[in-house]
Amino acid sequence: MPTEILMPALSPTMEEGTLAKWLVKEGDEVNSGDLLAEIETDKATMEFEAVDEGTIGKILVEEGTEGVKVNTPIAVLLDEGESADDIGETSAPSDAGGDAEAKAAPADAPASNGSDAETGKTAPAPETSDTKAPAAPTDDSGERVFASPLARRIAADKGLDLTQIKGSGPRGRIIKADVEGASAGKKPATKSEAADTAQAAPQAAAAAPSGPSADAVAAMYQNREYEEIKLDGMRKTIAARLTEAKQTVPHFYLRRDIKLDALLKFRSQLNKQLEPRGVKLSVNDFIIKACALALQAVPDANAVWAGDRVLKLKPSDVAVAVAIEGGLFTPVLKDADMKSISALSAEMKDLASRARDRKLSPEEYQGGTFAVSNLGMFGIENFDAVINPPHGAILAVGAGVKKPVVGEDGELTSATVMSVTLSVDHRVIDGALGAELLQHIVENLENPMVMLA
């Protein structure tokens, strides 16, 4: 029977996407590894590869369609000997034609579309077998248990009872990921557990406060001239995550002024020496390094909130906000405490460039415990940044401004002063601990040579 090609989950958090472009048309023959379509997630445009071979019998979702849910059928693949007349049979759970999970991973499992969504590397196509799949089993009531041929073969090899496995494929079909999960000792979800999970999301949404409806807002301005701007996937995601952050994360704020004169002088000397290598360090490069070292000095603050526990990380993985058209990315500089400032500078330039082109893979902008948001280049002197869950804190960096200060000898003098605000998740970091972390950041920046020791 024909096989449904499903909307793939190209990142662990992807729930829907835009089918930007079809790279095949109805009647085309495809082989494993052939590109089928371009899918836009909230962060990037990624290519979707075929795993099975066959003929594109019907395209179900037109290119340019937005908001296509993960695991929604987007096309039908015909096997040898099948025709378009057989496509109607796909309205019922299918037992033939290969694995639906080869077309798209379930939302709660890693993507397996021939490309690794976390690394961007091409993954090998699943091994095929000439061994005929065992017949579909029946449960105690005599009802047929629907499972893909590959799932049946794996179950037979491992001696698993398919009647005891909960299917996560289309219409409850058992797929490869379900069988592999069961063989790894994972307990299948019961019907009551699945029902509880299904009810949790709408209940949470109903409990969350909401503003006026779109129609109500539009009605306020019905007599005024305006342009309606449609939200893209990135803007929707930013809106949802920031709303979640401000509603669920108990923020508190710590503010300090940092004297930059020693850093600016040191940076100028370094840049002069590094000029033959084509390296030019920015103040932000020093800030990233200062934060990474501070997280090592205060390891209890190098942590994230994980629902019912705190995860304390050993490496300093620092995220940095990068503004792009229509939104922002927060690429993560991993092991930032172990890298030289010039290495961090080069890596940051590369990540920022690819972020603006939307070419980052999910693993490059997910993770980290701490973030830096710098608006100083726009002349902003101070601001409060919103924590990016599950991070424990974010440092908002303002512009360095010449100000009158009282010197160590009590005389009035001037200095370049930069204002910073540390937004902290009180569930992860208490006030004194946050103050200690910020103190280390200040000391690192006011004594920049220490960061090279």
Of 115-129, 270-284, 315-329, 333-347, minimum mean pLDDT range: 115-129
Q: Please tell me which residue in 251, 391, 426, 440 is annotated as part of the active site.
A: 426
CA distance linking residue 138 with residue 410, whole number of Å: 88
418: nearest Cα among 267, 215, 309, 204: 267
Pair of tokens at residue 252: 């508190």
Is the CB of residue 16 less than 8 Å from the CB of residue 68? Answer: yes
Pair of tokens at residue 446: 């006011």
CA distance linking residue 396 with residue 381, whole number of Å: 10
Structure confidence at residue 207 (pLDDT): 53
First to last CA, the chain: 67
Inform me whether the pLDDT recorded for 96 exceeds 60.
no
Structure confidence at residue 120 (pLDDT): 38
Cis status of the peptide bond prior to 124, with omega within 30 of 0: no
Residue type, 2: P
CA distance linking residue 71 with residue 434, whole number of Å: 43
CA distance linking residue 76 with residue 74, whole number of Å: 7
Residue 426: active-site member: yes
Of 97-106, 256-265, 357-366, minimum mean pLDDT range: 97-106
Structure confidence at residue 346 (pLDDT): 95
Residue type, 168: S
Instruction: Calculate Rg over the CA atoms of the chain.
Output: 27
Structure confidence at residue 151 (pLDDT): 74
Structure confidence at residue 147 (pLDDT): 72
Inform me whether the pLDDT recorded for 187 exceeds 50.
no
> For residues 78 and 233, which has the higher predicted lDDT (pLDDT)?
78
| Residues 59-84: b if buried by 16+ CB within 10 A, e if exposed | bbbeeeeeebebbbbbbbbbbeebee
Question: Is-above-0.75 flag for pTM?
Answer: no
Pair of tokens at residue 117: 């969504």
| Residues 286-319: b if buried by 16+ CB within 10 A, e if exposed | bbbbbbbbbbebbeebbbbbeeeebeebebbbbb
Kindly give, in sequence order, each residue whose CB lies less than 8 Å from that of residue 22, ignoring residues fewer than 6 positions away.
36, 37, 59, 63
Mean pLDDT of all residues in 272-294:
95
* Sign of the four-CA dihedral 127, 132, 136, 137: negative
CA distance linking residue 440 with residue 258, whole number of Å: 11
Q: Give residue 115's pLDDT band: very low, low, confident or very high (50, 70, 90).
A: very low
Report all structural domains of the chain as residue ranges with CATH numbers, in order of start. Answer: 3-183 (2.40.50.100), 251-452 (3.30.559.10)
Is the CB of residue 179 less than 8 Å from the CB of residue 151? Answer: yes
Is the CB of residue 5 less than 8 Å from the CB of residue 90? Answer: no
* Centroid of chain to Cα 379: 30
Q: Give residue 149's pLDDT band: very low, low, confident or very high (50, 70, 90).
A: low
Structure confidence at residue 134 (pLDDT): 65
The angle that helices 261-274 and 431-446 make with each other, rounded to 10 degrees, is 50
CA distance linking residue 416 with residue 261, whole number of Å: 6
Q: List own/partner pairs for 426-429 with CB under 8 A and 24 or more apart.
A: 426/250, 426/251, 426/252, 427/249, 427/250, 427/305, 427/310, 428/301, 428/303, 428/304, 428/305, 428/310, 428/392, 428/393, 429/300, 429/301, 429/303, 429/392, 429/393
Which tens digit of pLDDT belongs to each residue from 215-227? 888 889 988 998 9
User: Residue 56, class by beta-carbon neighbours within 10 Å (0-12 exposed, 13-18 middle, 19+ buried)?
Assistant: buried
CA distance linking residue 436 with residue 450, whole number of Å: 17
H or E element at residue 421: strand 412-425
Residue 43: CB atoms within 10 Å: 24
Q: Could you identify the residue written with the tokens 């809106």? A: 239
Inform me whether the pLDDT recorded for 230 exceeds 80.
yes
CA distance linking residue 274 with residue 271, whole number of Å: 5
Residue 338 DSSP code: G
